[in-house]
Structures are given as C-alpha cells and as structure tokens.
Structure 1
Amino acid sequence: MKNLINRHRSTLVLLVVFANLIVLANLAAGDPKDWQELVWLDIAGEGGAAMLSLLWIALILNSRPGGRVTRMLVAGLSGIFMAYWQDLMDEFIRLPESIMWDHWLESGAMPLGMVMLTIGIYHWHREQQAISAQLLRRERIFREHRSLDSLTPLAGAHYLREQLRLELGHAHQSVALIMLDLHCFDHSRRLLGPADSDRLLKELGELLLLNLRQQDLLCRYAGDRFAVVLPGSGQGEAERIASELQQLAHHFAFKTRRGESHFIRVQTGIAIAHDDDEASLIERANLNLARSLSSCQAA
C-alpha cells in the first residue's frame, strides 16, 4: 500500500479532492435528511459500488505500469466512482429541485466513465494478446524445466535433440535448423569481462526469442552458439529468417555496466532435413556454420 501511494500520489490525491468537493457542494446546497428518511438498502448498494470502484482503481494502479491504457482504465473507473458517490450523497442530503448539477453528475459521469473504461479494456485486451503471443513462444521450453539452460534461460542441447526428434517424426513436414554463433566472442569476453559477457548472451537470447515465429524454437546449443528449429520451413524461408536474425544482432547495441555500447555480429549455418535424424541434422548445420565462419575470417 505504501508503494501504491508513493507511485500514484497525484492520482489518489485528485480522487480524494474531487470526492470531498462533491460532499462540500452537497452540504452547501442542501439539507441533511432525517434519520427516518434514510434507505439503508440503497445506501449499502450505492456506497458499496463506489467503494468497489475505488478498490478496482487501487488494484489497477498497483498492478500495471503507467501509460495510456492505465490512464484510460483509471479515468473510466473514476467517472463511475463519481457517479455512485453523488448518488450516495443523495441518500443523505436533500437538494432543492432547482439544482440540476447533481443529475448531470450522476447521469453524465457514469456513461462517460463506462466509455473510457471500455476503451481502456479494449487496449488492455490488445496488450494481453501481444504478451500471450510472446509467452507462447516459450511454451515448449517451459514444459520441461529440467532442460533449461541456467544462464539465458533457454532450453539446452538435450532439449534441442528431443524436439528435433519429434519434429522429424512428423511425416510430410519439412524442418529447418539454424545454428547461430557470435563472431569473435572470445574477444568480447576478454573485453567485457565475465559478468557483462554472460549478460550479453542472456539479452541476445531474449532478443532472438522475441523475433521468431510462434512455432519456432530457440535453444542455447553450447557456449555462444544458439540453435533455431523452424518447423514447416524450407531453404528459402530458413535463409530469410537467418538473414533477419543476423541483421537483428548487427543492430543490437549491448550496454555494458559502464554505459558503453558493444556491437556484435553473428554467423549462421542452415540445414534442411532430408532423411536425417536429429544428430545428422545438427552435424550438417554445424558444418555449414563452420564454413560460414571460415569464409568470414578469410575475408
């Protein structure tokens, strides 16, 4: 609760100020009702709805980062809260019939709040779809926690072989395998030190993962070498994805703990399954990667 108040102090203060202004406006314009006139069922319903609106606002502010969607959700719930709050005031204070602002507040804030809340929920829904799509890319990895690499964390070589065996067992489906290797990573490790070089591998793994398709699988094969399984992909598509990943790594400006930028390059080796088992497919991809590294060093 303390963190919620510290992070969203201005929003909470604004809500309290508006709620108190409504109370003061009602007291200034009307007269308190007698005890016998109070309808406790209405008070419980309207007051409970107002308190629930406040609780939802607190939960959203405490669980979401700031931004446009959060502001829409809070603005919508604030409108609903103000409408119920004024409705609650009517149960305690009798206003003259000539006063109309209370009706405007009740009838205007509610639909406006509902519209803002609906727009916020729609954009929240779109956010969740994007997040779910990213999490689905990890689904096959999380099914077998024992195969996770301790650093990245991605699946390791053992899990790669298991998944390749499953993919190669599917009849009438092509499978491509891309091996990616960081160019001159030994030099980078000497330059960056163990902590930053480990963080480089971890952040590069995250970057590659977020730029693959939902059905693709990324593993850390060994050291500075990653493997990408592309189910249902042929040579042309594998070459396109490998080129995209190379460009992605080329534009990745890793920030060291000193705030300096460190740029990297990756080389790739591609193998398309042709009556292979998992071992021979990995061997061919590594062989093609070795040729790519040799030609790069010769150049």
Structure 2
Amino acid sequence: MFDPWTLWAALMAAASILALAMLFAWWMTPTEPALAHWAGAMAMFVLGVFCASLRGTIPDFAVVALGNSAILVAYGLIWTGMRRFDRRSTRVSYVLIGPAIFVVLCLLPPLNEAAVGRVVLMSVLIGILLVFSLEQLWRGDALASRARAAMIVILSIVLALNLFRVLVASTQIDDQNRVKLFADPTVAGLGLVALALAVFLCFSMVLMVRERSEMLYRSAAQRDELTGLFNRRGFMELSLAACLSGGPLAVMILDLDHFKRVNDRFGHLAGDRVLKMLAQVLRDNLRQTDIIGRIGGEEFAAVLPGATANVARQAAERVQKGLSEGAAQLSFGEGGAPLRCTASIGLAMASMPRGAKVTEIEARLMGLIARADAVLYEAKSGGRNRIEVATAEPAAVAP
C-alpha cells in the first residue's frame, strides 16, 4: 500500500497532465476564452497542493495562505470561465476576492490560531464560489445541454463533499494544529476522489465547448447570410418540429411586389437593404414563438403556431404596415426620394393532429405551404399589396 506522500505525488502528476490537456484544448480553440480560465483553474489546483507540500520548508502561515489562496483562485476561475462561456462580462480580478478575504481573516483571532476555523472558513468560501458557478450554469439553460447538466451534477457533488468537510473539520486536524493532508491515507483518498471529479469536470467543459461549436455550425447551415433569418432548410426543419406538437397553426407566405424594379433601378445593394429591412419588420411584428425564414429571393415565410385565422390576418396586416413605414425611411438615388414598397401575402390555416407520424405531419405541412403559396399568387394577380386567405384545410394524408 502506498503511503500518503506517494499518493499525493501521483495525484499532483495526474492533475498537472490534466491542466496541460486543458491548455492544449485552449490552444486548439483560441476563440473560446473560457478554456483559458478552466486551464488556469486546473493549474491553480496543482499549485495549491504543491504549496501545501512545502510545510516544514517555509513558514506555516505562508503554506496556509499560499496553498489555500491558490485553491480559491481555482474555484474562482471555474466561475469566471462559466461567465465567459456565456458571453457575460467578468474580470479576472474577481478571483482574488476570495483569497483576500481568507488571508485577512486568518491574520485575526481566533482563526490565526485555530486550524479547524480555517478549514470551516475555506469550506464556506469554496461553497460560495461553487454556488456562483452553479447559478451561472443554470442561468445558461442547463436542460438544453447534456454537458452543462453533467457539470451541474459534478459541481453539486463537490459542493456536498465540501459541506461534509465542515461537519468533520475537527477530525482533519492533528496534534500540532495542522491539517492532516500528507499524513492520513483517508485524506489522500479524498484527493483521489477529487481528481476523478476533476477529470469528469474537464471532459464536461470540453464537451460543452464542442456542443456550442456544433450548434454554431448547424445554425450557420440553417441561416440566411443576408437577413439572419432561417433559410429554406432551417425554416422547414423548425416548422416540422413545431407541427409535431399538434394543434392549430397558420402559414404565411410573403413576396415583395415589383422587387425586380428596385434592383434594376437602384442596384443590388439597394435590394439587399430592402430585404434586410423586411426581415427586421417580420421580427418586430411577429411573435418570438413564430418561425420566420427567407425561402427564396424576395419570398419569405412564417409559421405561426397556435394562430387562428383572425390572429394570422392581424399579423399579416402589421407586417404590411411595418413594411410601408420601413420603406419610407429608406432613400435611394440622387434625389433621395423615399421608396414605396409593398408585399402580397398568402395565409393558410390548419390543425395538426397530435401523435401522428412524422411523414403525415410533413405531408400536411407541405400541403399547407402549397395552399398559402397558391393564394399568394391570387393576391398578386388581384392587384398586389393584398392579403389572401386559403379557407380550406388540406386533406389529411392517410398513414
């Protein structure tokens, strides 16, 4: 059986490799600054244990202050890394607050003489930093990411172990009023548990970064580069997902009237400005739950879950009004005359069955879009700048 010193030496070596692995992950993904914080956290954990191993070589207070400060900085870096990952403002100086509190309080009685008190204080400060990290993880929508959920579980275990340490603080102190870090195999065993948790934590951190990268790639494949709306692929995927929930919904197909004239008269850059303006009008006048996409050159579509014919028509009227007002603020040409821009809109409503097969729902959605598209061209042939509604629901497709 290995003695505690051998176990701690092996643990520090393994933790050092883990810290280097996190630095390598950051080097491979320099656009993710959170990895730098987390790599620093792993390095500070190693530094904290190393400082503790210097007991007897340097004064005890220096060992206590440096070792525990490094550990607190590590937990602080985990928290600031979470904030950076969620693109929230943070300062690295925040991580020095915990160590400063610890050092100042340890200079004062009774903590300057009571090792038990220092253990309790350290556990409380670590607990606070863990709560900050957990709160940030939860705020970032933990249920949407398995890696985030795993990090919540791991940090919750660390928090529970840390609180348990408060209850058994008196058993961790030897006759010389020192923490039995390198003299008790049980404490070394806890270090092994801590290393295992750190390994899982680092894997979860890297997986969380990978999840977001994959999400960004998927999002880029689903987005129209000019307007930022969903492209046809993204629009169809999300619309199908919305339809699978069942219930009433409406489809809106919108096409700019005489858009070719804008391009021919003022150029394609002017046309791009009009398209971007219309995309913003759609965002401003439709609900956050509505799915909006650019499915063609000047053709846009929206799926309005839960919308009745009345609600859908009111939404279409808002879009037409917003388009007219937005176009009036644009000016092209030498005279800078305001642009008159209108759109024809086709609407179709249906009630999607719950629990139906995906193929059936997809067929009904495609039929609904086709009907909205058909009445859109009725609106165009009827004089443009009109809203036409398809009254009949597409027939159900046999499973």
TM superposition score normalised by structure 1: 0.49
TM superposition score normalised by structure 2: 0.40
Instruction: Considering Cα pairs closer than 8 Å and 6+ residues apart, tell me whether 1 or 2 has the greater RCO.
Output: 1
